[in-house]
Structure 1
Amino acid sequence: MSSGFKDIAALRAFKFERVLNDDPITHALTLLGSFLAADSTSQDRSPAIVRIEKTALSSEHADKLFSEALDDVRLIESTDIYTWLFGWFERSAEMPDVKINIIHPATDVHIRKYSQQQVIVVRETPALYARIVRPYIHAFPAARTQWVDNILSGASEAEKVLHRDTSPEFGYVLLPDMKWDLVTVSSLYLVAIAVSRNIRSLRDLRKGHLGMLRSIRGEAARVAQEKWGLDRGSLRMFVHYQPSYYHFHVHIVNANYHGLPGMSVGQAHLLDDVIALLELDADDGSSIFERITLTYALGEQHGLYTQMKAAQSELLDI
């Protein structure tokens, strides 16, 4: 988060424009508005996306929920053995009510990404990847992933890094994902980000990357066990396609964490399956991820939507 958003006074300067998304599953609202431009001495404002999500209840404080944390309740209804209540928590440093993510200044690409949208399912053949998707990926300016470079170089979030492999070709860093509240183990969310810029997505993986992928799997399991007591089998590790940003990374979440939109079929590819597929490849020749046809959902706001939707007519149903 920008250093300009450290207290409530800074957030009160947010000028609301409209709701981008209302997600009842994650209990989150994504808002579009603006803040004063950080590099401006005038009253110029720049777009901002603010996502407000209710935090998960932590079992570590279960004994305090009624004795200390709950401030007030109001009866909704009661019948026979069933009762429904509204409840309010007291202000607490240990149990915040919401988590707030801010993107500022936000680009049009960010606004489209976070907007509620209809999706279609598309098939991406190797030929469509070469003609449509790869040029789209390589057209992204390096500035879009500057925050990734900051993490990899240690310029930001260095204190959060859980494991670092410095190999320029097969290295990675493992750290908590920004979506995690850093407290609630049941919603644990880590991310492993590759050092190499040459791995933009799943399509760029080769058999030579197996060592890196196995290391990510092993180190994530080790860290989760040592720091949070999670045993083998307690983690779900997956790779997105299409990903939200084109610098290869692996998502690592508590296996009991449900309801994440990024865990849907077609977008999330289990790391174990990715490793198993690469193990089937010959030691030389093209990778299976170069040869395979991938099927996934695209939102109508995605930059690939129009071209990929039109290209589906070229594919024969067999």
Structure 2
Amino acid sequence: MASSEPPFDLKDFKVERVLSEDPLTHNAAILGSLRLAGGEDRPTIVRVEKAALPSFSPDILDSVKFLGTTDAYSWGLAWLKKSEEGADIKISVICPATEAHIRKVSHAHSNPSLRIQSEGGYKYSAQKIHLVHETPEIYARIVKPYIDAFPPSRTQWVEDILDGRSEVDSVLFRSSPDAPFGFLILPDMKWDGITMSALYLLAITLFKGIRTLRDLTREHIGMLKEIRQRAGQIVKERYGLESTEIRCYVHYQPSYYHFHVHIVNTNYVGLPSMSVGQAHLLDDIISLLELDPPGAPSILQRITLSYGLGDQHGLFVPLKAAQAELTKEDDGDGS
């Protein structure tokens, strides 16, 4: 179980440089160093993001400064009162940070408390996104060997959750041990656990043989439907939301290669990881698999997937080269 007391004092953080910042989503990743208790200064990444605003009332304001007014419109700045119920910013720390963390976010981390960093992938250093097309042939030749080469240590934090070594108290649902394709559901570290408009849960399969949506077949339809059903049940019973108020989706490329489903409030918009191409609605995935005839290769194994890929991603160089091959093939068709 994760400790609430880190082995450092964040006030001692020494800033080196800003790795990335986004004024739209109000978050930034800063590289620097921290001294661990009884040790030396270690490379550290601190990620700060604006916490979700509480329901507005004049009581939450400490002070207001108006900057201008014209006709019916006025604008200004405001400061919130200190509150134990809601923080102003959310902080995530990686210490010690490796070069892989600094240059890019690996597909998983060994520390379960750092789950937020791996969601959506490669968030720390700013990077340029390119649209790539992954045919079944490119998947088999480039992507699958890349996935197969990942050492188990990269998803150790997932194994710790699945085996009950961490975040036990956070689990909202766990399938019975004899379920052929079981899963568990727990809150994602992005969520503060309070703000319903920003609700964010995660369903993770207990079965280790499904790494991405490319591995899904007709035999997994029951599991996917149960994830959808259990998610709706949990948000209604625990959080008072209707099943129509949540959006369930799967990433491709995912940020780590152990199949999981994101469950967020339908009104929670603006997440970069919900962009077209990367996020695939769970309902759509189920519908596609239902079109497959029994015994046939999955449609998810037969289609070309197009998605945005950052130039710091480990797949970027070979997939970019493969795009040139696709262009030559299209030119050769004479179309």
TM-score normalised to the size of structure 1? 0.91
- 1:84-163 mapped onto 2 (5 Å cutoff): 84-111=75-102, 112=104, 113-114=122-123, 115-163=125-173
Task: Please state how far the C-alpha of 1:206 moved relative to its aligned partner.
Answer: 1.4
Cα distance in structure 2, aligned partners of 1:149 and 1:263: 26
CA distance in 2 between partners of 1:243 and 1:118 (Å) = 18
Cα offset, 1:36, TM superposition: 3.1
For the aligned residues, what is the CA RMSD?
1.9
Structure 2 residue 311 is the aligned partner of structure 1 residue 311: no
- Please give the alpha-carbon distance, in whole angstroms, between the structure 2 residues aligned to 1:108 and 1:201: 26
Question: Aligned equivalents of 2:296 and 2:323: distance in 1?
Answer: 28
Cα deviation digits, residues 112-148 of structure 1 (max 9, x gap): 1122111111110111111111111121121111111
1:277-316 superposed matches below 5 A: 277-315=288-326, 316=329
Residue 307 of structure 1 and its aligned partner are, at CA, apart by: 0.6
Q: Is the 8 A contact 2:33 2:41 kept in 1?
A: no
Deviations 1:180-234 (A, max 9, x none): 1111000111110011221111111111111111110000001111112111311
Paired amino acid for 1:208: E
- What is the CA distance between 1:5 and its match in structure 2? 4.9
AA aligned opposite 2:288: L
Aligned to 2:9, the other structure's residue is in SS state helix
User: Could you tell which deviates more after superposition, 70-79 or 122-131?
Assistant: 70-79
Aligned AA (2:203): A
Greater shift, 100-109 or 252-261, is seen at: 100-109
| d(CA) in 1 for partners of 2:39, 2:92 | 25
Match of 2:69 among 78, 81, 85: 78
Q: Decide which of 243, 255, 259 is 2:254's aligned counterpart.
A: 243
Contact 1:169 1:195 (8 Å CA) reproduced: no
Give 1:21's aligned residue.
20
The CA distance in 1 between the partners of 2:99 and 2:270, in whole Å, is: 27
Partner residue of 2:278 out of 252, 267, 286: 267
Q: Residue by residue, what CA displacement relative to the aligned partner does 1:6-47 show, whole Å, maximum 9, x if unpaired?
A: 59x711132222112111121111112233357xx54151x3
Describe the SS at the equivalent of 2:322. helix
Please say if residues 50 and 103 of structure 1, whose CA atoms lie closer than 8 Å, have aligned partners that are also in contact. yes
Say whether 1:48 aligns with 2:44: yes
1:201 equivalent in structure 2: 212
Q: AA paired with 1:78?
A: T
What corresponds to 1:258 in structure 2? 269
**Is 1:58 matched with 2:54?**
yes
- What's the TM-score, normalizing by structure 2? 0.87
1:309 is displaced (CA, Å) by 0.3
2: CA distance, partners of 1:13 / 1:167: 49
Which string of whole-angstrom CA distances, capped at 9 and with x for unpartnered residues, describes residues 133-168 of structure 1?
111112112111111111111211111111111346
Deviation at 1:78, TM superposition (A): 2.0
What SS does the corresponding residue of 1:233 show, helix, strand or coil?
Answer: helix
CA separation in 1, counterparts of 2:98 and 2:277? 27
CA distance in 2, matches of 1:280, 1:108: 44
Percent of counterpart pairs with the same letter?
A: 54
Secondary structure of the 2:244 match is: coil
In the alignment of these two chains, the number of paired residues is 309
Change (3 A) 1:260 1:139: same
**Unaligned 5+ runs, structure 2:** 105-121
